Amino acid sequence: MSTTYVLFLAFAIGIVSGMRSLTAPAVSAWAAKYSWLNLAGSPLAFMGSTAAVAIFSVLAVVELIADKLPSAPSRTQPVGLIARFGCGALSGACVGVSAGNSIAPGAILGAVGGLAGAFAGYQWRTGLVRALKVPDFPIALLEDLIAIGGGLFIVTRQ
């Protein structure tokens, strides 16, 4: 697999993190658990542990629910951006390391993808709600499905 393709996947999993910050590490943890991502012997091997899978999965589900609440902060606020940056970096690093690369390139592209996905996802979601004149809830569910499906698609490409 080419380095360019792997780095593209690292950026793409970052975009997923930008949409739903904890979905990217959750699908990365499941992928490591089922050896879709080979993290054995790396500093990221913990991602395949039952504990990591459980923790990231529970946190991702909580985030999916909390996102629908009217009190949910914007993903473009500092706390949301930091979460997306960090989770994108972790997930991008997992994708990169799985292909035999060092941690840094995947982490950097995953982090950048997290920021890009946060702003693009926000614009897409709010624009779609306005254009279709529908409530936010069904568009938020659609975004959930895209993030989960896209994340699983990305981590199974190697």
Q: Measured between alpha carbons, how far is 125 from 86 in angstroms, rounded to an integer?
A: 22
Q: Which two tokens stand for residue 16?
A: 């997923």
Q: Give the helix/strand (H/E) hosting 5.
A: helix 3-19
Q: Which two tokens stand for residue 119?
A: 């702003």
Q: Measured between alpha carbons, how far is 36 from 12 in angstroms, rounded to an integer?
A: 16
Nearest alpha carbon to residue 91 among 152, 29, 48, 7: 29
Using pLDDT thresholds of 50, 70 and 90, give the confidence band for residue 83.
Answer: very high
7: Cα separation from own chain's centroid: 15
pTM of the model: 0.94
How many C-beta neighbours within 10 Å does residue 29 have? Answer: 30
- Each residue of 8-55: pLDDT tens digit? 999 999 999 999 999 999 999 999 999 999 999 999 999 999 999 999
* Per-residue confidence (pLDDT) for residue 158, from 0 to 100: 75
Nearest alpha carbon to residue 73 among 1, 21, 130, 35: 21
